[in-house]
Structure 1
């Protein structure tokens, strides 16, 4: 098994590509060892000292560290990932875990059409690009012309995430949805 790694815009996060499906569909953001209880793979990764976050994507794993150098952490992480996939254990034990709590959205019923357009733009134009960097961006709400989005994986805590939101996503949404005045992180 050959696992590739890619740098992300977030220096504290590295993207691992095991060359096979991880979740297939959906994404799962695990920010601590307790949250990782639903995933044998994430539990193994959190056992490596210095790991503070695991983000599971369709075909990638994004790992965030709190300290140490990637040169020292990478061999242990590659070993944990390889061992998991060779064991045949499931990536996630509880499929319901893929439908995380941040599915709660807020917006006025009269804004449903606007929200549908915003979600379509996010799904077709923004999320694929963000996934390439090892993260995800999800819709949280829309109120008074402000779109609230949640950044996950490599995007969470990334130094360039504010620029991505303000200059990339906000400009795109304002162009296609005149009712959007601003984009903020939820």
Structure 2
């Protein structure tokens, strides 16, 4: 019997149900309701569950976004069992072959960020359920799209999260000279059904691992409090600006908090101000400790 792996994502409302093999290799699908899911009998069946808001099918997984009427801990086992039974009984996941997949219209728009060297290219569909940062072409094993983007000589770094790609450029060019070219390339690449990212190939990074529940439970109380504050109050704001922030460490003796800045936040001229006058003051206030200091590590 097909056994699914249940994986959390950075969005607590979305859970991934991973298959041991690919279910589709060159395209991704997102369904908002049962009518949109006409080409996926499995997605249609899942929409009969009252808490299912969105169904994503891509690569080796099915991801489901839930409404807030339930918590995943209460229903994830039953959902996994339903999918496993459906597939075991010969149920169809997608009712056409990959060769019959027609080009899907994709919208990509460029959005400025606080970092003048970074532009955020936003899609009208989910690109990834995990954040992924690429400093150079050698790090793009998991993402064919990132590899292709690095072939543009002005692309310095890339950061992917949910429905957008943050592109960091070299200073030798201006955005008005290159933004349309990048936008058009990403749009055409996705419309033609090329693989965006294989999340199973993303290298596990120690600084990311600290955010995971298993490791979180092993941290000291203050570190856990800091992570919770960053996740709830800081991360949504920096993600909206095309970046990300990760907890690295807390030194109890020096009361020093080290964080990792990614995407548009990395190297941003305003990041120092944000760290000192925003995040540091917030931690001082919420932890009731004026000795707290925040320091950024260049990701």
Note the C-alpha offset of 1:75.
2.3
Secondary structure in structure 1 of the residue aligned to 2:220: helix
1:141 aligns with 2:249: yes
RMSD (Å), alpha carbons: 1.9
| Contact 2:142 2:201 survives alignment (8 Å) | no
CA offset at residue 94 of structure 1?
A: 4.5
Higher helix share: 1
Deviation of residue 96 (structure 1)? 4.2
CA contact (8 A) 2:110 2:179 kept: no
Q: After the TM superposition, list the runs of 4 or more consecutive aligned residues in structure 1 that deviate by more than 4 angstroms.
A: none
Alignment-derived partner of residue 128 in structure 1: 236
Tell me which residue corresponds to 2:188. 83
Give TM-score, length-normalised by structure 2: 0.57
Contact 2:142 2:197 in 1 (8 A): yes
Q: Is the 8 A contact 1:53 1:63 kept in 2?
A: yes
Shift of 1:63: 0.2
Structure 1: any 5+ residue segments left out of the alignment?
A: none
Q: CA deviation at 1:41?
A: 1.2
* Greater gyration radius: 2
Q: In the TM superposition, what is the alpha-carbon distance from 1:98 to its structure 2 partner?
A: 6.0
2:178 corresponds, among 64, 73, 76, to 73
Q: 1:177 and 2:287 equivalent?
A: yes
| Unaligned ranges ≥5, structure 2 | 1-105, 211-216
Q: Hey, what does 1:157 align to over in structure 2?
A: 267
TM-score of the aligned structures, taking structure 1 as reference length? 0.90
Kindly indicate whether the alpha-carbon contact (under 8 Å) linking 2:245 and 2:261 is maintained by their aligned counterparts in 1: yes
Native 8 Å contact 1:137 1:151 kept in 2: yes
Taking CA–CA contacts closer than 8 Å with sequence separation of 6 or more, which of the two structures ends up with the larger relative contact order? 1
1:5 to 2:110 alignment: yes
3-state SS of paired residue (2:140): helix
> 2:118·2:168 contact (CA, 8 Å) conserved in 1?
yes
CA 1:15–1:173: 2 relative to 1, 3 Å = same
Whether the aligned pair in 2 keeps the contact of 1:149 and 1:184 (CA below 8 Å) is: yes
Q: Is the 2:207–2:247 contact (alpha carbons within 8 Å) kept by the matching residues of 1?
A: no
